[in-house]
Structure 1
Amino acid sequence: MFIAINVVLSSIVVIPLGPIKAAPVQHLINVLCAVFVGPWFGLAQAVISSVLRLIFGTGSAFAFPGSVIGVLLASGFYYYRKHIFMAAVGEVIGTGIIGSLMCIPVAWIIGLDNFVVKPLMLAFIVSSVIGSVISYIILMILKRKGLLKKFLS
C-alpha cells in the first residue's frame, strides 16, 4: 500500500531541479514506514518505489541514495528513541544531508560532470522537511486519537 501511494502521489507532487525530481511524498512514506513497518520493509518500499518511479519517468537515479538512507536513518532513530519526532529528524538527516552527498557518485556515473551539490542538498532538505512534517502531523493525529497504538500492536 505504501508503495502504491508513493508512486502515484510522487508523480503529482514534485520539486524539479534540473535532473533531480525531489518528491516530498517519498519522505512522508519513509517516515510512516519507519514507524509502522520498520527498517527492512521500509527499505524494500524505498527501493521498489524508486525503481517504479524511474520506470514511469516520475523519478530519477537520485531517488535511490536519498530514499534508502532516509528510511534506514528514520527507522534507526525511531527504534532508538521510540519517538515520532526522531523518525522525522532521521529522514531529514538521512535524505537531506547524507543522501544528497551520496548522489555525487551517482551524478558521475550517469555523466553529470558539472554536478553541483548545494542546489541538490537544498532541494532534498526542503523536500524531506515537507514530507517529514506532514507525516509527523499524520502520526500525531493518529496518536492523539489512540489509533497509533492499535496499528502498532
Structure 2
Amino acid sequence: MKKMVLAAMLAAIGVLTSHLVYIPVGVAKCFPMQHAVNVIAAVFLGPWYAVGTAFVISLLRNMMGVGSILAFPGSMIGAFIAGVAFMKVRKIEAAVIGEMIGTGIIGGMAAVPIANVFLGTSKAAFALVIPFVVSSMGGAVISYVLLKTSAMDRLKDRYEARS
C-alpha cells in the first residue's frame, strides 16, 4: 500500500511539473521532469512501480491533451531499465544511466513505429532518438542532483526503515 501511495504521489508530481520545463526537439516534446520522476521512482520503488508511475504520467498528460503518444514507450522502457539497473548495482548512477539508455536509445527506437502509425511521420529512427536522449539526459541530471541531496538521503532512510 505504501508503494502505491508513493507511486501516486510521484505520478502527480510528474504530471504537475511536466509543464514547468519542456524542450521542443524535432517531432517530440521533451519533458525532462518525467524522466527525473522515473529515476526517483526506480530508486525508491523498483522497476515495476516505476513503469506503472511512468504509464500513469504519460496517460494523464495525454488525456489532458498536453502530452505526446511518444511518451509511452520512452518513459516506460526507461523507468524499467533504471529500476533494474538500480536493483542490481544499488547506485543512483546506475539508475541515471539506465534511464538515459532505456529512454534515449531503446525508447527512441521503440517510438518509431508509433510515430509512423499515430503521427503519420516516417522519420528516421535517428530523428526520434536525439530528442529522447536530450530529454532523458536533462531529467537524469535533475534526478541525480535531487537524489544526492541530504534531504533526500533522510527521506530514503526513513522510507527504508518503514518498509
TM-score in same-fold range (> 0.5): yes
User: What TM-score do the two structures reach when normalised by structure 1?
Assistant: 0.92
Equivalent in the alignment of 2:148: 140
Unaligned runs of 5+ in 2: 1-8
**Is contact 2:35-2:75 (8 Å) kept?**
yes
Select which of 9, 17, 20 maps to 1:9: 17
Does structure 1 residue 53 correspond to structure 2 residue 37? no
Q: Spell out the pairing of 1:3-152 with structure 2 (5 A cutoff).
A: 3-142=11-150, 146-152=154-160
107-116 or 90-99: bigger deviation: 107-116
Shift of 1:111: 4.6
* Contact 1:22–1:123 (CA under 8 A) maintained in structure 2: yes
* Secondary structure of 2:29's aligned partner: strand
The answer (yes or no) to whether the contact 2:74–2:103 under 8 Å persists in 1 is yes
The TM-score normalised by the length of structure 2 is 0.86
- More displaced 10-residue stretch of structure 1: 76-85 or 112-121: 112-121
Shift of 1:34: 0.4
Amino acid at match of 1:60: S
Structure 1 residue matching 2:149: 3-state secondary structure: helix
What residue identity is the alignment partner of 2:18?
A: S
> Is the 1:142–1:148 contact (alpha carbons within 8 Å) kept by the matching residues of 2?
no
Which 4+ residue blocks in structure 1 deviate beyond 3 angstroms? 142-147
Amino acid at match of 1:138: L
Q: Distance in 2 between matches of 1:5 and 1:103?
A: 24
Question: 1:80-126 CA deviation, whole Å, 9 max, x = no partner?
Answer: 00111000000000000000000111012215243232232111111
* Rounded Cα–Cα distance in structure 2 between residues aligned with 1:8 and 1:88: 22
Share of identical aligned residues, percent? 40
Q: CA RMSD in A?
A: 1.7
SS in 2 for 1:57: coil
Alignment gaps of 5+ in structure 1:
none
